[in-house]
Amino acid sequence: MEITILVFGQIKEITGIAAWQISGIKSTEELAAKLVMQFPELALMKYAMAVNKILIQTDTELNENDTVALLPPFSGG
């Protein structure tokens, strides 16, 4: 099962890449835990997650071909 990860803004500077695929992850909390191991600086970052362009508030199950985005606090306008 493969999902796509997208990162933006300041988080992109931590990861060094904007998008990649990952497999074997079943939920957004599991993903967050895996990412913080890979990129320890993420632990200091405040961010929201969107699954398939919808913001999520709680742990969310992930399915094949889902896209998860890590979104730092917005600062448009």
Partner 1 sequence: MEKKKHTVFISGAITPIFIADSIAKHSSKTSIGGHNIFLGQVRNDVIDGKMVVAIDYSAYEEMAEQKFNEIREAAFAKYEIICMHIYHSIGIVKTGEISLFVFTSSAHRKEAIEASTYLVNRIKEEVPVWGKEVFEDESYVWKKNT
8 part of the interface to partner 1, by CB under 8 A = yes
CB-based contact 51:63 (threshold 8 Å): no
Identify which of residues 14 and 25 has a Cβ nearer to partner 1 in the complex: 14
Q: Choose, by CB under 8 A, the member of 4, 6, 22, 36 that binds partner 1.
A: 6
In sequence order, what are the beta bridge partners of 3?
22
Q: What is the CA radius of gyration of the chain?
A: 12
Segment contacting partner 1 by CB under 8 A, of 1-9, 21-29, 31-39, 57-65: 1-9
Q: Is 50 strand, coil or helix?
A: strand
Here the tokens at position 46 are: 């405040």
10 part of the interface to partner 1, by CB under 8 A = yes
Q: How many residues bind partner 1, per CB under 8 A?
A: 14
CB-based contact 43:52 (threshold 8 Å): no
- List interacting residues with partner 1 (CB under 8 A): 6, 8-10, 50, 53, 69, 71-77
